[in-house]
Chain A
């Protein structure tokens, strides 16, 4: 096939593709047809142009001279041009004051950017969990330890705060005899029910995976793995701190309630997280 014939054929395909596109749009067609129609229309046109370019256009090699912009080769330079402003440079004190005023004004003009967001304050240190708040599931139903099935995992919230992201908590039931929590924490896990913050202490993703047989929580983002039986201590992955444990007890009606907020800030670390003042308002 000669080049002109190939160009004509490619253009013909392109025209057919474009007409097909019109038909597909007007009469409705699947996304696959849309894509193929567009690909034919564009592909035919592009192929025609390329064949034209490489097959039909005479393009001899040419040589063009370069000109360097290096200072010694050019007739005028920027330095010489700036030197014409000699009068300005004699007023050195005023020039410096001008530059300083400009800099300070520029800095001041950045100030509205600080309206973009509030001060963090104590937000990163606390969640909405408070003493006496019942644990509820996604349907706002309070929970009794007996209702929780062994080897199950449920996402729970404080009553009235369903869906509130910083309060998201995992409630897991294990055999009490399997627990090996840090000292004093057994009191926070009545009847084998144990609750941890669901926010990963590495980069904040919800720790959604639970390997029930091994009692390991896994975060899908960077594979931090937490040992449920040992206070959600990280045993693999980049997380350096355990998931904070929610202190719980059973209230007189038999429902699980929180004893207070998490004992340390939930989620990813920040520079002053060990600062005692941050926990001022519990």
Chain B
């Protein structure tokens, strides 16, 4: 059969070259693949969900088997997700696998991003793929937010209210932009169907297209590699794609799906029947978005109540933590390859990766940034953390307000110090080396080499 295809498309030479391509063999190079396989699971389960979901805010009367909601007025969207969960065979497991896959997808992207950053893989010639990667991260976040808002339940609707308020807070264009996106003053009946269009059509197109370009560039440029005796800046040392790497990747893909399937069947997630349909006049607590937006919620919680009005223009308090600071953070992240090249003056190509300790400054910045992210994410769940540890919420908030400044600074200093120490110890610089001496028969001393 392959011959039949080859006779019509002439792929044999291209395929042979592709299958023989060498990929370096290291577990940390598989992290991006994990994200890719989560995306595959998301698309497969997502298509199933799309066949049952109704993107309509028009109200209907729920008449399904979940007793507490029987006879209640809910949106058609919410009703369709309830039906999928309780009346469609395998509906709930597909929904739960889809949602777990979304959470793990973004986690895998973050871990992959950390590997790229700490090994300096973003340096020339891979700046383009870094930019695409940041774009893919943002698209993944957008996919997640639009996705979990589709069921139109009380929790996700509250999240949409917060997003609307953050957009409103943008000076000059905020109210216009929010009214454009939502179709009017919150809550609107248009937003659900618009989120649906983004979630199943526009964003997946960009995301999948971006992933394909990301992979194509990777194949074109060949994968980077860690330093080892045979590796140089002009070769790639590893194993051929076929059959070894292909089998490993396939196995990893199927096992990733197996883990997500296990979680989807055994661990409950997003029980929209408990939250009930969205009602703009009530709220449940605790109220959080999914974990990957937790940092934004945490920023909103920690930022002090500062609202500035000058010359008739008000800068509402959500603007700085909700728009300005994330914008700056993502901006720095996006431009990092160019910033680092400008600061270090290194414009040469790098095919060999750094160990983190070889670049103390970069690693220190990375650790500090990561700590900011972790503390903000923790702050997003400050009331839950307060509940679990029996600490008053106010105390938790104030502790984190201090921590968000102190801990990253400490982390920066500590990481820098540790990296330089480790790097210098390797090179034998600056540390008095302990030496064992032995008396020779002639009366002098010589080094007693334990080797």
Contact = CB atoms under 8 A, between A and B. Distances in A.
B185 A63 contact: no
A38 B96 CA distance: 13
B265 A38 contact: yes
B306 interface: yes
Contacts of B314: 269-274
A258 to B, nearest CB: 17
Most buried by B among A28, A219, A271: A271
A25 B265 CA distance: 13
A241 B309 CA distance: 12
A18 interface: no
Interface string A118-148: 1110011000000000000000000000000
B286 A220 contact: yes
Interface in A76-102: none
A120 B176 contact: yes
Given A39-B265, A206-B282, A267 B305 contact: no
Interface string A244-269: 00000000000000000000000111
Nearest to A116: B180
A163 B306 CA distance: 31
A221 B158 contact: yes
A54 B349 contact: no
A118 B301 CA distance: 31
Contact of B351 (A62, A66, A166, A209): A66
Interface string B106-128: 00000000000000000001000
A246 to B, nearest CB: 15
B397 A61 contact: no
B353 interface: no
Interface residues of A, number: 78
B450 to A, nearest CB: 31
Nearest to B301: A222
Contacts of B284: 208, 220
A50 B252 contact: yes
Interface in A180-225: 198, 202-206, 208-209, 219-224
A220 to B, nearest CB: 3
Nearest to A54: B248
Most buried by A among B89, B166, B265: B265
B378 interface: no
A106 interface: no
Contact of A208 (B164, B266, B282): B282
A277 B264 CA distance: 54
Interface string B372-406: 00000000001100000000011001000000000
Given A271-B313, A272-B314, A205 B162 contact: yes
B443 interface: no
A273 B190 CA distance: 25
B237 interface: yes
A211 to B, nearest CB: 11
A174 interface: no
Interface string A9-35: 000000000000000010010011111
Nearest to A44: B258
Contacts of A236: 394, 397
Interface in A53-74: 53-54, 57, 59-66, 68-70
B286 A268 contact: no
B419 interface: no
A42 B263 CA distance: 13
B255 A269 contact: no
Contact of B244 (A59, A113, A119): A59
B93 A220 contact: no
B42 interface: no
A50 B285 contact: no
Contacts of A165: 186-187, 280-281
A266 B225 CA distance: 57
A77 to B, nearest CB: 15
A28 B88 CA distance: 11
A232 to B, nearest CB: 14
A198 B281 CA distance: 8
Contacts of A239: 305, 317
B287 interface: yes
B22 A64 contact: yes
A123 B185 contact: yes
A224 B351 CA distance: 51
Given A35-B93, A70-B349, A270 B383 contact: no
B35 to A, nearest CB: 17
A202 B317 CA distance: 7
Contacts of B244: 53, 57, 59
A136 to B, nearest CB: 13
Given A49-B250, A271-B314, A35 B261 contact: yes
A155 B280 CA distance: 12
Interface string B246-259: 01101111110111
A234 interface: yes
B236 A117 contact: no
B302 to A, nearest CB: 8
A12 B96 CA distance: 27
A165 B164 CA distance: 14
Interface in B179-227: 179-187, 190, 222
A168 B279 CA distance: 11
Contacts of B247: 49-50, 52-53, 57
A198 B243 CA distance: 63
B172 interface: yes
B103 to A, nearest CB: 16
A272 B312 contact: yes
Interface string B308-342: 01001111111001100000000000000000000
Most buried by A among B312, B314, B397: B314
A42 to B, nearest CB: 4
A64 B280 CA distance: 61
Contacts of A69: 125
A204 B165 contact: yes
* Nearest 10 CB-CB pairings of A with B: A35-B265, A269-B316, A46-B254, A59-B244, A220-B285, A53-B247, A50-B251, A46-B255, A49-B251, A240-B307
6 contacts: A65-B234, A113-B180, A204-B165, A239-B305, A270-B314, A271-B315
Interface of A: 25, 28, 31-39, 42-43, 45-50, 52-54, 57, 59-66, 68-70, 113-114, 116-120, 123-124, 155, 163, 165-166, 168, 198, 202-206, 208-209, 219-224, 234, 236-241, 267-275
Given A34-B90, A116-B181, 7 more contacts: A35-B264, A62-B22, A62-B239, A66-B351, A113-B180, A114-B180, A124-B185
